Structure 1
């Protein structure tokens, strides 16, 4: 099976109860972090893992709320890995990822220099391997395969979604997107779809145009449910809520999704965990 943990379910607006967008995916003995929002490492610790335990970092896109803690993650992994030959962290993301990683290391250049000067066993900067992709297979190790496909978050471009497969279980992580055929194809028959969502009916009431603008490049709860229905997935997992559900409102959000998708629907606070078993996806009607 594949274990999905919603590490951070929040939005760009700081929330005392929710960290920034990030999802942990455990498949076999491999651990993947999808996006890297603020507070991710505290949530990783609560989920029983750490930066040094990651197999790879997967980035759906380069919006600030999805990469806010990238520098902290890379430095923490570097200084908490004590083996004599640390394995470079694989970072998989859309074109532009290598430039962001390079700029992050430059921003932390003083810190890296201080630590190398102070610790005899740190003699080189953090080691990473950056891979930029927009389509196709990007990972095939230890029984785990990962494919990516383009999504539609314009004017943010390019953006990608990930499909993780292991032992006949599969999970698709959409990132921020409006409905699009490429995401439908990536999610076809998957065991679960992790999808970011907004409440369009609430956001459209905001008095600031800048807030209302997010409606044109995010999926509503109903649109995410439509995508799950078209793709024939087994479980729809909602995350990255805008605005965040208040305690007691979860059933309201679930009902909106259930009006379009009649299978298992999951949503919750940070650290909500979902197990995805082999064969949970269904063939879409028609």
Structure 2
């Protein structure tokens, strides 16, 4: 079984009810953080998951809303891990990730220096192990395999999606993208597809061209559902709602997806959880 929790279902626009884009995936004894938008560790804390419990950080792309709390993840994991030889945090992302991580640690340089000076058991900066990828198998430990494929969020490039598999269960996390053949192939036959979505009809009605521009490189609810249908996935899990879903409007969004996808559709607030089983998928609230 793989457990998917929507940590943050928000967008670049701050929202009092929704944290920034982030998803937690638990497979066996391993815990993967996919993207790290604003407020991510507050959401993991609500689940009883600390930064030091993260097996790896997976980044779909380097837009600010998807990495806003990278520094918090790096520093919090470092100071809350009391192992004498703290292992590095694996960070898997597209080309450019290493530079972003390096510069984030530089930005927190004074803080890191203060903590090393104050705590005798902290003798080095936060250990990280960055792997930049665009395609192929990137993880294979204790029965969990992770595969990466390119997505299409141009002019943001490169961007990637992840497929996590464990004991016959599989979950694909698309990140921000328009429909593309590489995502179709990555998601083929998966138990669940976690997909970011926009409502083009609502965005087009906004007076600001800069906001309307986002329609160029995000999937609509219907397009995400069509990707799920083409790939033959069992559950479509929608997240990163733009504009934010107004209270009581979840059924409207679900109905749009249902026009092209006739299986299980999940839409929820932050901390919405879905269990994905091999062949049998059940919602857990």
| Deviations 1:140-174, CA, capped at 9 Å, x for gaps | 00000000000000000000000000000000000
Correspondence for 2:82: 82
- Taking the TM superposition and a 5 Å limit, the aligned residue runs for 1:176-191 are 176-191=176-191
SS of residue matched to 1:269: coil
Residue 279 of structure 1 deviates from its aligned partner by 2.0
SS of residue matched to 1:31: strand
Structure 1 segments of 4+ aligned residues over 4 angstroms from their partners:
none
C-alpha distance 135-280 of structure 1, shift in aligned 2 (>3 A):
farther
SS of residue matched to 1:172: strand
Aligned-CA RMSD value = 0.7
Correspondence for 2:39: 39
Correspondence for 1:284: none
State the alpha-carbon separation in 2 of the partners of residues 280 and 149 from structure 1. 25
SS of residue matched to 1:197: strand
SS of residue matched to 2:206: coil
Q: What is the TM-score with the length of structure 2 in the denominator?
A: 0.98
**5+ residue gaps, structure 1:** 282-286
Q: Is the 8 Å Cα contact of residues 239 and 267 (structure 1) preserved in structure 2?
A: yes
State the alpha-carbon separation in 2 of the partners of residues 78 and 43 from structure 1. 18
SS of residue matched to 2:14: coil
State the alpha-carbon separation in 2 of the partners of residues 279 and 58 from structure 1. 25
Correspondence for 2:278: 278
State the alpha-carbon separation in 1 of the partners of residues 48 and 8 from structure 2. 15
Q: Is the 8 Å Cα contact of residues 233 and 280 (structure 1) preserved in structure 2?
A: no
State the alpha-carbon separation in 1 of the partners of residues 41 and 85 from structure 2. 23
State the alpha-carbon separation in 2 of the partners of residues 25 and 75 from structure 1. 21
**5+ residue gaps, structure 2:** none
Correspondence for 1:92: 92
Residue 280 of structure 1 deviates from its aligned partner by 4.5
Correspondence for 1:244: 244
Correspondence for 2:66: 66
Q: Is the 8 Å Cα contact of residues 175 and 196 (structure 1) preserved in structure 2?
A: yes
Correspondence for 2:205: 205
SS of residue matched to 2:241: strand
Correspondence for 1:154: 154
| Deviations 1:10-29, CA, capped at 9 Å, x for gaps | 00000000000000000000
- Taking the TM superposition and a 5 Å limit, the aligned residue runs for 1:209-248 are 209-248=209-248
Q: Is the 8 Å Cα contact of residues 35 and 57 (structure 1) preserved in structure 2?
A: yes
Q: Is the 8 Å Cα contact of residues 2 and 25 (structure 1) preserved in structure 2?
A: yes
User: Are residue 194 (structure 1) and residue 194 (structure 2) matched?
Assistant: yes
State the alpha-carbon separation in 2 of the partners of residues 30 and 164 from structure 1. 11
SS of residue matched to 2:170: strand
State the alpha-carbon separation in 2 of the partners of residues 130 and 170 from structure 1. 24
